[in-house]
A and B are shown apart, each in its own frame.
Chain A
Amino acid sequence: MLNTNRKKLLEVDGLKQYFNKGQKTEVRAVDDISFYIEEGETFGLVGESGCGKSTTGRSIIRLYTPTAGRILFDGEDIARIRSRAEILRFRRDAQMIFQDPYASLNPRMKVKDIVAEGIDLHDPAKNARERDERVYRMLELVGLDESHADRYPHEFSGGQRQRIGIARALALKPRFIVCDEPISALDVSIQAQVVNLLQDLQKSQNLTYLFIAHDLSMVKFISDRIGVMYYGKLVEVGPSEEIYNYGVHPYTESLLSAIPLPDPEYERSRKRIAYIPQPPGADAKLRAVAPGHFVYCTEAEATAYQEKRNKRVCS
C-alpha cells in the first residue's frame, strides 16, 4: 500500500494557527505541526473535539491565513499567496467537504445553483442547457439524479445533503479534498454509504484526501496514513495499520483503547486507558520509532517508545 516514490502533493511544515494573537484570549489552535500527503492517498487526522483538526484543514484550504509555517501544495507555498488570481488557481485544485450537512448548503439556493456555483465562477457554461447538463452529471456522480436539481436543500435527508456538498466540491475537478468529519453528523447506516462513495470517487477522480474524524476505527478503514492530534500538536504519525496495531504514544493508546470490537471475549477484557497529559520535554519533536512511524517525544523517550513498539510487534 505504501509507495515510497509517490509524489508529495501536500507538505505542511511548521504550521501554526493562533487566534486572537497577542491578546489575553489567544488560542493556539494549531501549534507547529508538520506532515505530508502523497498524491492519491488518504491521510486521516484524528483527535478529540477541540484539538484543532478543523482549524488545520481550514488553514490548509486557506480559509484562515496561517500565523506561521509553510503549506506546500504541488511545490507552491499556499500560506504565502496573496493575489486573487493565485488564490483562485489554488481553489480549483483544493476543495472541502464540511461536517454539518444541515449548515453547509445555503437554504435559499436550489440544488443546481449550489452545485453550479463553482462552475459559474471558474469555468462558466456557454448556456443554461450546458450548465444543467454539467450539474446533472455531477449529481449522478454522487448518486443523485436530475429530478433533485430544482429542489431546495431542506427537502433532502442528511445523507443526500452530504452528497450535494460532495458534488459541489467535485464540480471544480479538484485534486485535493479536505473532508472535515463528513460522516460524523450522519446516521450509522448512511455513514457507510458516504464513505464508500468517497472511496469510489477517489479512485475514479484520482483524488487525494485529508480525512478528518474523531473516530479512529473509521479513519483506519479509509486512510493510508494517520496523524493523531492532541491539543494543537501532532503527537503520532504513521501508516494506518502501524498506528492501529502499534500506536505507542500514550494519547494514541488511550484512543485505541476506546474502540469497541464486536467480540464479547475481547470486550470483557477491554480496559479504557485514560490519558494523563504530561508536559512535553524541551527538545520534543516528531522522532522516528519505525520506518514511516513518528512519535512526538524527546530523544530519551524515543528509545523507550521504540522498544515498546518492537516488543508489541514480537508478541
Chain B
Amino acid sequence: MKDDRSIVDIDANNGTGVGTASADPHDFSPLKLENAAYEREKNESPSLNFMQDSWRRIRKNRSALISMVVLVLLIGVAFTSIWLFPHDPNRQNLAHSNLPPKIPGVTVRGFDGTAADNSGGGAFIDKYAAEGVPEGVYYYLGTDNLGRDLLARLLGGMRVSLLIAFVAAFLDLTIGVTYGLVSGLFGERVDSVMQRILEVLAGIPNLVVLILMLTIFKPGIFTIILAMIVTGWISMARIVRAQTMKLKNQEYVLAAVTLGQSKAVIAAKHILPNISGVVIVQMMFSIPQAIFFEAFLSFIGLGLRPPEASLGTLLNEGYKAFRVLPYQMWVPTVTLSVLMISFNLLADGLRDAFDPKMKE
C-alpha cells in the first residue's frame, strides 16, 4: 500500500514540475476510421534493400565519402597514366639527376625547379638551368639520383600497391570466404580438421613464410603474392566461419534445410548475403595491411628490388637522401599514407553503414 502511494506521488510531481506544457484535449481530433484502415494497409516508406540503405548511410559519413573519392582518383590516375602519360619509370638520364620538382606555371618554392645550392650558402638557385636542362622539360615531382622521373616511378609504385590490394581482396573473397563457409557449415569433424590447419598456418609469421619462399624463388612481386596465398586470407576465414556458425542455427536457415535446400545453396543464398557486410569490411581492412606488407618488404629489400619501382623501394632510396633532397622521400611517404588512411577510413565508414548497431 505504501509503495502504491509513493508511485502516485512521483507521478504527481512529474505532472506539475516537468510536464508544464499541458495538453488540451481540444487540440486533438479522432482519426477517421476509414483513414486509419487505409494508412495501416499502406506502408508509406520506400522499400529500401540492404545496399540502398547502406548507401544512404555512407553518404552521410564525410570521411568515408572523401576517402572513396580520393581512392577513385588515385586508382584512376595510376592506371590511366599507363596510356596518357607513358614515361618509363626505369629510364635513366644521368644528365638530369636529382632535379627538384618543377611544374609549369607554378611559382611555389619547392615546385618551381629551384633548390638550395648545396655547394654552400643558403641561396636558392634554378637547378634546371644549372644542370643545363633544356627549356620546356619538366619533372613534376623531380628526379632521383639516376635521373629517373619520380612521378613515373610513383605511378609505377602505386600500380604495384594497388595490384597487391587487388590480390589481397581476391584471396580474401575466394579462399578466405570459401574456407570459412565450408568449415562453419559442415561443423564437427570437418571443422576441427580445418581449424587445426588454420592454426598451424596462422602460427607461422608471414615474414618467415616469405623468407622460406626466398630460398626457392627470387624476391619480387610473385614471391610476395605466393606468401599472401599461404597466409593472407586467414583472418577472413576465421571471421566467416564464426559468422556462419552463428547464422546456421538461425530459423531461416533451418527452414531452408526443411525445404530440402543443399548446403551449397544455403551458403550462397542464406548465409553469404547476410554476412556480406562483415566480409566487405574485413576485406577493406586487410587491403591496407597488404599494401603495407609489400612496402615494408620492398623497403627492407625482401620484396621488389631496385630498379623496380614500388612505394617501398622509393622510400628506401628516398630516405638515404632525405637530408639533402627531402622531396625524394616525401613523395612516396605521402602517397603511402594517403592510400592507407583512405582504405582504413572507407572500411570504417562501410562498417558503420552495414551495421549501424556496431557503432559505439
Contacts and interface: CB of A to CB of B under 8 A. Distances in A.
Contacts of A121: 259-261
B281 to A, nearest CB: 17
A121 B258 CA distance: 12
Contacts of A122: 260
A104 B47 contact: no
Interface in A100-126: 100, 103-109, 117-118, 121-122
Nearest to B256: A117
A63 interface: yes
A106 B252 contact: yes
A95 interface: yes
Nearest to B257: A63
A143 to B, nearest CB: 13
B261 A108 contact: no
Say which size band chain A's interface belongs to.
20 to 34
Contacts of B260: 87-88, 91-92, 118, 121-122
A103 B47 contact: no
Nearest to B274: A108
Contact of B274 (A58, A106, A168): A106
> Closest 6 A-B residue pairs measured CB to CB?
A91-B260, A104-B251, A108-B273, A98-B251, A106-B252, A118-B259
Given A151-B43, A152-B47, A95 B252 contact: no
Interface of A: 58, 61, 63, 84, 87-88, 91-92, 94-96, 98-100, 103-109, 117-118, 121-122, 150-152, 155, 165, 168-169, 172
Interface string B101-135: 00000000000000000000000000000000000
Contacts of A117: 256, 259, 261
B256 A100 contact: no
Nearest to B43: A155
B270 interface: yes
B255 interface: yes
B47 A105 contact: no
Nearest to B261: A121
Nearest to A171: B259
Interface in B73-115: none
Contacts, number: 67
Contacts of B251: 98-100, 103-104
Contact of B258 (A96, A103, A106, A150): A96
B256 A151 contact: no
A23 to B, nearest CB: 12
A103 B250 contact: yes
In terms of DSSP, what is the predominant structure of the interface of chain B? helix
Contacts of A107: 50, 274
A113 to B, nearest CB: 9
B43 A104 contact: no
Contacts of A108: 49-50, 273-274
B252 A155 contact: no
8 contacts: A63-B254, A91-B260, A92-B260, A99-B251, A100-B251, A152-B47, A168-B255, A168-B259
B274 A165 contact: no
Contacts of B258: 61, 63, 91, 94-96, 169
A109 B49 CA distance: 9
A168 B260 CA distance: 13
A98 B255 contact: yes
Contacts of B255: 96, 98, 104, 165, 168-169
A147 to B, nearest CB: 8
Contacts of A109: 269, 273
A31 B56 CA distance: 52
Residue from B47, B252, B256, B261 having most chain A Cβ neighbours under 10 A:
B252
The residue among A87, A94, A108, A151 with the most chain B CB atoms within 10 A of its own CB is A108
Contacts of A151: 43, 47
Contacts of A172: 259
A172 B257 CA distance: 14
A118 B270 CA distance: 14
B254 A98 contact: yes
Nearest to A172: B259
A274 B273 CA distance: 48
Contacts of B252: 103-106
Interface in B246-291: 250-252, 254-262, 269-270, 273-274
Given A108-B50, A151-B47, 15 more contacts: A61-B258, A63-B257, A63-B258, A95-B258, A96-B255, A98-B251, A98-B255, A106-B273, A107-B50, A108-B273, A108-B274, A109-B269, A118-B259, A121-B261, A151-B43
